[in-house]
Amino acid sequence: MPTFIQTRPEDTEVQLSLLTVMDCVVHHDPAVTVQVVWYHNSVPIDPDATSRVNLLPSGSLEITQARRSDKGAYECVVTSVAGDDRASATLTILGEELTVDFWQKNILKVCMFLFVFLFFLHFKPNPVFCIFLKKASKL
């Protein structure tokens, strides 16, 4: 029985910080030893090097807490005495990282949201508070 990739990886989009799985389900004779190696942008992935990346028993690659640095080309390479196979796909990361710069750029929007929200809760928010936060974000 030949060894081949039964379920191939597909181009995938994932939201920043979420989990994704790149498929690479291998069909093979159970008596044959199969090696599955994943590459990210042509560099071999060592699943033992990070707790965010796991090689699943099926051969698929699980990436938890997706980061911007995870985007790019992925290739699954399967080797055995009964045959070799390879398949590739692209991973795209969606969304913005919530960095200090993000909060500084969006502090006024956050304040306006809070102002409206509190207003509708019948509080009397002080707009000076938002001005204070905007100035403090520049420190």
In tens, the pLDDT along 59-76 reads 999 999 999 999 999 999
Cβ atoms within 10 Å, residue 90: 14
**Same domain membership, residue 62 and residue 15:** yes
CATH code of the domain containing 32:
2.60.40.10
**Same domain membership, residue 126 and residue 83:** no
**Same domain membership, residue 72 and residue 37:** yes
The CA distance from 78 to 36, in Å, is 5
**Same domain membership, residue 129 and residue 87:** no
**Same domain membership, residue 116 and residue 79:** no
**Same domain membership, residue 113 and residue 48:** no
Residues 6+ apart with CB under 8 A from 61: 9, 21, 22, 24, 38, 45, 47, 53, 54, 55, 74, 76
Amino acid 109: pLDDT? 74
What mean pLDDT, rounded, does the chain reach? 85
Amino acid 95: pLDDT? 87
Residue 76: give the domain boundaries.
4-94
Residue 68: its H or E element: none
Amino acid 47: pLDDT? 87
pLDDT band at 107 (very low <50, low <70, confident <90, very high): confident
**Same domain membership, residue 76 and residue 54:** yes
Is the pLDDT at 128 greater than 70, yes or no?
no
Are β-strands 72-79 and 85-94 bridged in parallel, bridged antiparallel, or unpaired? Answer: antiparallel
The CA distance from 96 to 118, in Å, is 26
**Same domain membership, residue 117 and residue 80:** no
**Same domain membership, residue 75 and residue 124:** no
**Same domain membership, residue 131 and residue 75:** no
The total domain count for the chain is 2
**Same domain membership, residue 55 and residue 23:** yes
